[in-house]
Structure 1
């Protein structure tokens, strides 16, 4: 058990993200941003940076991950649901969902899995894959909506749609959250997965969206 989860060591540098009083951490958002940029450079290369225009999005994500329930409620973020992080290609969705768990090393961590990889696995192994991802685990499904339709022994299947329906049941029974990233908007998601899945997604996720004109940071 980490007795100082608000203090994170990266090599020879120590980052203190807040103050610990009793068993409660009072986090400091500017200090979190400093750490996220430093950790991002370690993970993704020296050109990684936190952009000032993304700070409003980052603030919502950070208060969710640090479990600041009062501020979440004020900003309309349901701490019981997962995160659906949407935005245009290259705005940084995947990087952030890889980065943010590092600010809360004492919490249960999600595994980030590209949705298209899950469909490829279905094509090879069949419906066992839907059970594997639908009935257990804590996942962030990356690039939801860009995967192809699955096909196993000649039978087509909207693999991620079926997994999301199973994750909804899992959420109701065990309060097990699901996260996802997507380039699609609400209408495109409904077209891709149908009204039933889209309805379940509203109950599964907090939608946190980058501006549609956000920069492509990979250029």
Structure 2
């Protein structure tokens, strides 16, 4: 049954209206989205979780992308039909935000967040079927892209995530199914890790949203 009020999210006994209905469109309110995200973050990650003022710009981009506000995305240089590559220093909150942002649009199909290192370990154990599995038509966010170990299965070395990204690019071009990722690496480091061909495909596969390089480690 279709949810007639996807802009009103219920957590326990509390309702969080993220905007208001205008005809068949939702007019979202960014400040209300932030209130909900902080509340949901505390439920998911503990009472110490908070939304930091310094992250507002990143959150504004992620929120408008998630709600598919095409006009605002265009002004910010984002293409809603591509995936998100969220980059930033260690501990800045990339994974938490990619987990959280899914909840503001319960009427859209969610993506699954998978640590890149787990995929490589899977390849080392069962081989090339892993690349096939993650190259297919599900929605994924690959977490910590670029710092996973090298793949090796029965003496055969493989840049596992590089091969998966090539498969995801083909999938995107054929079906429009998007891929997301988080990374600590910059563009040059990603190219060194995966090569020019994969880096070229990543430009077409992802919108880049980046934390400031000086963003503090929130886990300390």
Give the TM bin, normalised by the shorter chain. Answer: over 0.9
Matches within 5 A, 1:78-117: 78-117=79-118
**2-structure distance, mates of 1:217, 1:11:** 27
**1-structure distance, mates of 2:37, 2:6:** 15
Matches within 5 A, 1:60-209: 60-209=61-210
Structure 2 unaligned residues grouped into runs of 5+? none
**1-structure distance, mates of 2:137, 2:33:** 31
**2-structure distance, mates of 1:74, 1:2:** 30
Aligned twin of 1:22: 23
**2-structure distance, mates of 1:119, 1:192:** 14
**1-structure distance, mates of 2:21, 2:119:** 40
**2-structure distance, mates of 1:159, 1:134:** 11
User: What is the TM-score normalised by the length of structure 2?
Assistant: 0.99
TM-superposition CA deviations, 1:39-59 (whole Å, max 9, x none): 000000000000001001100
Moved over 4 A (4+): none
**2-structure distance, mates of 1:186, 1:74:** 23
**2-structure distance, mates of 1:125, 1:4:** 44
**2-structure distance, mates of 1:23, 1:100:** 22
Aligned twin of 2:56: 55
TM-superposition CA deviations, 1:8-45 (whole Å, max 9, x none): 00011110000012210000000000000000000000
Aligned twin of 1:43: 44
Superposed CA RMSD in Å reads: 0.5
**1-structure distance, mates of 2:118, 2:23:** 43
Q: CA deviation at 1:136?
A: 2.1
User: What is the TM-score normalised by the length of structure 1?
Assistant: 0.99
**1-structure distance, mates of 2:175, 2:41:** 33
